[in-house]
Structure 1
Amino acid sequence: MSLKKNATVTPQLPNYVFEQLIGQGTCGYVYKAIRIGEFKSREIVAVKCIRKEGLSKAAVENLITEITILKEVKSEYIVELKHFEYDKHFIYLIFEFCSGGDLSRLIKRNKRIPESLVQHFLQQIAVALKVLRKHNISHMDLKPQNILMSSVPSNRSFDIQLKLADFGFAQYLKSDQIGNSLRGSPLYMAPEILLSRKYDANVDLWSIGIIMYECLFGNAPFASSSLEELIEKIKNEAIVLPTTVKISGACKNLILRLLEKNPEKRITFEEFFCHPFVDLEHMPCKESYERGVSLVQKAVENDKCGKAREALEDYVNGLQYLIPIYNWSDKSKEHSRKLKKKIVQYLNRGEELKNVLNISGLTSEEMILLDDAYECVAEADLSCESGYFNEALEKYEKSLSVFISLLRKLKGKDKEMFREEVNELMSKAEKCSLLSKDPSSGNTLSKKQNSSRKVMRNIVPKKKTVSDTLSPTCYVQ
């Protein structure tokens, strides 16, 4: 037990074993502890121990507000207050334990956080803020040190759950209500708090902007050695985004709107929640998965009915939900591998449909014929993968006859683009023909096939794929 030695009184709680000091402040300490429950069950928790001695009236009021708020609001992205107790010397707040530490550690360790991960984190913070605004609560002290991580990020998965913590400065503040007390950490305080001490709930949005800036660029925009220097910088210096780090247009737009010094011009909560970079609509979660699955199922049905345009739209919309879920999943898990296989299948089919819709000079009957041929190719691919080479060869040849007859009708760029499709199909047919005679020749032919495809790519410009219709942060990683 590594408790603070110079403390005159040691924090102690019945049924709790204090293991490690993980944080401390002016009013007390935070320990990692084990709660011994019924039947000797053990639960790891974090215990915030606040000294009663010398606690000011304002500190007592803040503590009461923190307990009230955390008992009132519930969200997977807000740290859970499990219980609170007190004795002669301390008030104890028992929280869920977050083993990943806080966001500031991740920033220090990585220097900068990739934009895609910043977006992933921002979505979680936005959900937490939505819950707070529903109850007219402002956090007032948002900063990386007060954003906890449920677990330690690993190379396999960055699907880390963030938790807003430390509601000691939080207050009930409606959107149009004005506050006038100095609350928060100066580096993350909105200008109106520092300069005029008159503010509304939108001050939390400025803090989010500073956190976002620090994540992307490695340091806060107005980093200063004193409060006086900080105030001077906020008064006189404009927000400048470093050009050394490339960020998307949507990301740049959001950060500049969050860091608008004039609170009347700053982005509102409603605009923040709907911003395309935050993109709460496609946030990885159970609801997004169900929505994505529903859309691709609809796409498959439209595909079967020959409704190429409707099918393509549904494939694209469905993938916008499914790809982020895969990107932030644990790639070592079987369900993740299965999801990737499905995503690749839908992407490929979407590309085929897009090629079909982009081809001009064909009648509606010929377009249906071409769509059927693509479907036949997909069936042939499956047969080839399953080892039914003769069956696959028959389907490839059937499709080729349609492709070649239509190729003769096309002209210009459409013909050049379609010729690559024919060449790829001929390579597949050749591979199946050889494999049907000698299965061991598969590896050798694969190299030849890849070589011929590289040559074709040099001759024919790369086609725009269905992936190009997705947002930059939605590609399969």
Structure 2
Amino acid sequence: MGNLLGKEEPIDFNGEVDLHWFNLLRCVGKGAFGKVRIVERRDTKKIFALKYINKIQCIKMKAVHNILRERALLEELQHPFLVNLRYAFQDDENMFMVIDLMMGGDLRFHLDRTGGFTEAMIRYYAAELATVLSYMHKRRIVHRDLKPDNLLLDDRGHCHITDFNIASRFEENKVLKSHSGTLAYMAPEVFESNGYTWTVDWWSLGATLYECLYGRRPFHGSTNEELTVNIRSKHLDFPTYNLVTKQPLQVSKDCISFLQALLERDPKKRIGCTSGRGNLDDVMAHPWFAAVDFERLTRKEYQPPFVPDANHANFDAMYDLEELLLEENPLTHRPRK
């Protein structure tokens, strides 16, 4: 019998997880492969992010393999500086992934509003991200799309990697050869015929940190071909001012040294790669991190240098408005047929 008296059907929280477990709150993002909204688990009142993808749309975009691969990879990973997967399920229309909620916004959001970060901020993010890259690479997983858009801050200001849509497993004797990722952050070896593996993430980290400090990406081009040539061969400058705000920058020699070491075109000489896969010795030994205790860092015992404003939305509020006004088929709990 239907819900004639307006009472909700009881929820079995010991049974199979479904959308009915959660109260649906505001929409906070969308991308090529789906939408993200805040949800609250009804029994514990714990808040999460819900990423959901329409199955028909997924098939039309030929993205089924990517989505299933992302879920499989996330099920293998658990780290303090990842946006971790907590639940995964589906109904007849959508596939769902319930992940950690990051209320601090992504680095792109803050970069667009400030033009650039302080050296203290990028050193802190670099250290946190180095620990999680090492963890992933040790498990033979390469992200391939590290950039400010895919780095999320929690409410305390800690940095986390998200979006494993084009991440991949790899083997040392079976290299990757597809040009996957965002061109401006791709490592030079991606364009070589010999293929690549985990080393590309360290280059992308360098490109990301450079942009966060100077406000612009390290290499540019009016066409994809020109950008590719510049990534592979152009000399890299380290200006004395922010390229967006034009404000002068006091950047330490150690900071520039670390960025240069990440943006080393030979992956065998690139920092993060010289000590072997999953080994952070070369990074931890760099003088830029002399004051960092990486064990304390991983336990989140340090106070981040930037704490997002909890009184304002650290994301584009238009997502919520679009969901309210334009969504033809609003998300609701539907039992599978």
Structure 1 Cα separation of the partners of residues 66 and 194 of structure 2? 18
- Tell whether 2:130 aligns with 1:100: no
- Tell whether 2:13 aligns with 1:16: no
Q: 2:214 aligns with which of 213, 217, 220?
A: 217
| TM-score, structure 2 normalization | 0.73
Amino acid at match of 1:19: L
Q: Is the 8 A contact 1:181 1:197 kept in 2?
A: no
Q: Is the 8 A contact 1:18 1:31 kept in 2?
A: yes
Note the alpha carbon deviations across 1:21-70, whole angstroms, 9 max, x for none. Answer: 22112222111222212xxx422211111121143596322222222222
The offset of 1:181, in angstroms, is 1.6
Distance 1:266-1:94 versus aligned 2 partners, 3 A rule: same
Amino acid at match of 1:203: V
The offset of 1:212, in angstroms, is 0.9
**1:24-423 alignment runs, 5 A limit:** 24-37=30-43, 41-56=44-59, 59-151=63-155, 160-174=157-171, 177-194=174-191, 196=193, 198-224=195-221, 226-244=223-241, 245-269=249-273, 270=275, 271-279=282-290, 281-283=292-294, 285=296, 325=302
Amino acid at match of 1:52: K
SS in 1 for 2:66: helix
Q: Is the 8 A contact 1:31 1:48 kept in 2?
A: yes
| Greater gyration radius | 1
Structure 2 Cα separation of the partners of residues 32 and 225 of structure 1? 38
The offset of 1:75, in angstroms, is 0.9
Amino acid at match of 1:55: C
Q: Is the 8 A contact 2:157 2:304 kept in 1?
A: no
Note the alpha carbon deviations across 1:360-399, whole angstroms, 9 max, x for none. Answer: xxxxxxxxxxxxxxxxxxxxxxxxxxxxxxxxxxxxxxxx
What is the root-mean-square deviation of aligned Cα atoms in Å?
2.9
Q: Is the 8 A contact 2:172 2:197 kept in 1?
A: yes
> Which residue number corresponds to residue 333 of structure 2?
none
Percent of aligned positions that are identical: 29
Structure 2 Cα separation of the partners of residues 46 and 327 of structure 1? 22
Structure 2 Cα separation of the partners of residues 211 and 161 of structure 1? 16
SS in 1 for 2:19: coil
| TM-score, structure 1 normalization | 0.53
Note the alpha carbon deviations across 1:145-166, whole angstroms, 9 max, x for none. Answer: 1111001xxxxxxx51111111
SS in 1 for 2:108: helix
Higher mean C-alpha deviation, range 115-124 or range 50-59 = 50-59
Structure 2 Cα separation of the partners of residues 275 and 108 of structure 1? 30
Structure 2 Cα separation of the partners of residues 215 and 329 of structure 1? 13
The offset of 1:237, in angstroms, is 2.1
Structure 2 Cα separation of the partners of residues 221 and 186 of structure 1? 12
Structure 1 Cα separation of the partners of residues 126 and 208 of structure 2? 10
Structure 2 Cα separation of the partners of residues 221 and 60 of structure 1? 33
The offset of 1:204, in angstroms, is 0.4
The offset of 1:211, in angstroms, is 0.7
Q: Is the 8 A contact 1:174 1:201 kept in 2?
A: no
Structure 1 Cα separation of the partners of residues 299 and 46 of structure 2? 32
Uncovered stretches (5+) of structure 2, i.e. residues with no partner: 1-17, 242-248, 276-281, 308-337
Distance 1:45-1:281 versus aligned 2 partners, 3 A rule: same
Structure 1 Cα separation of the partners of residues 264 and 51 of structure 2? 35
The offset of 1:177, in angstroms, is 4.6
RCO (CA 8 Å, sep 6+): is it higher in 1 or 2? 2
The offset of 1:268, in angstroms, is 3.9
Structure 2 Cα separation of the partners of residues 105 and 180 of structure 1? 31
Q: Is the 8 A contact 2:131 2:298 kept in 1?
A: no
Distance 1:146-1:26 versus aligned 2 partners, 3 A rule: same
Structure 1 Cα separation of the partners of residues 252 and 234 of structure 2? 24
Structure 2 Cα separation of the partners of residues 260 and 233 of structure 1? 13
Q: Is the 8 A contact 1:33 1:44 kept in 2?
A: yes
The offset of 1:265, in angstroms, is 3.4
Aligned length: 275
The offset of 1:195, in angstroms, is 5.3
Higher mean C-alpha deviation, range 270-279 or range 92-101 = 270-279
Q: Is the 8 A contact 2:157 2:306 kept in 1?
A: no
Structure 2 Cα separation of the partners of residues 18 and 282 of structure 1? 40
The offset of 1:113, in angstroms, is 1.1
Which contiguous aligned blocks of 4+ residues in structure 1 show a shift greater than 6 angstroms?
286-289
Uncovered stretches (5+) of structure 1, i.e. residues with no partner: 1-11, 152-158, 290-323, 331-477
Amino acid at match of 2:31: G
